[in-house]
Structure 1
Amino acid sequence: MEAHGKVTELFTLHNKQANALFWSPRGKLIVLAGLKACFGGKLEFFDVERKQTIRVQQHLKANNVVWDPSGRYVATAFTIPQEEFDESYGQVGDPLERFHVWSSSGDFLYYHQCDYPLIQMDWRPYRGGIIDDDLVQKRKKFLVETAESWF
């Protein structure tokens, strides 16, 4: 979106299948997601600046994709609407009751098997104190030093 609120097309992707798009917080990466049964949980991690796919992964039955506030991680999960939740929903240890964590470049990092169905999946907001100029400079230096390892 331009400064005056006008939406501008960056480019068109051809031959991509997705039913949901999830932008990273900084807008340089996007997950093209094929959620629910019709797409089989396909997750395509795409670099918008380079206009290329970084990696394609899969999380069967995933219907929730969430970027962490820093843009370094993505979580995927199968969640159920709260109004559909009751104690008889599913079986304890059902393989659907898990969430996955991926790097921003699509590397699989972790999964957790939950005891009960998930209603919501989200990241904890930044919990630090006051962000001063010194902290900003330290973070910028760290990002420059480690940026190559993210891809």
Structure 2
Amino acid sequence: MLSKQEAAQRVRAAKVRKNLTWARIAEAVGAPVAWTTAALLGQHPMSAEQAQAAVGILDLDEEVAQALQLQPTRGALETAIPRDPTMYRFYEVLQVYGPTIKELIHEQFGDGIMSAINFRLDVEKVPHPEGDRVVVTLNGKFLPYQW
């Protein structure tokens, strides 16, 4: 049986070979682009229909479709501190702004956390005269601690 990581490697190779974008693949799957990308990289299970749509547009086989439907072991970093510069910047943002985010969540919502399960993610390119801006939106349900 193919692992989710092996399936992800095949997906990425097919994406390049077929000259597709994540947005185009997500359109074929019928799901948001960030969720679809995460699922195809092994972080979410896909339904049978979603997996078939993905392998159809990517011209991959049933073995990949089956792997895409498996329950994942979530968490994709090879090390606790990411080495990739793009991912490290998010680690750095949390080091600098994590305490501020926590304080503001507690002040505005009370004692609790932002869900990473009931969650939406969006990445947007915004033109700017001094250079394009990356806008990342993390949108999670507030979950109060229950004592």
Q: Which one has a larger percent strand, Structure 1 or Structure 2? A: 1
Q: TM-score, normalised by structure 1?
A: 0.24
TM-score, normalised via structure 2 length: 0.25
Higher helix content, 1 or 2: 2
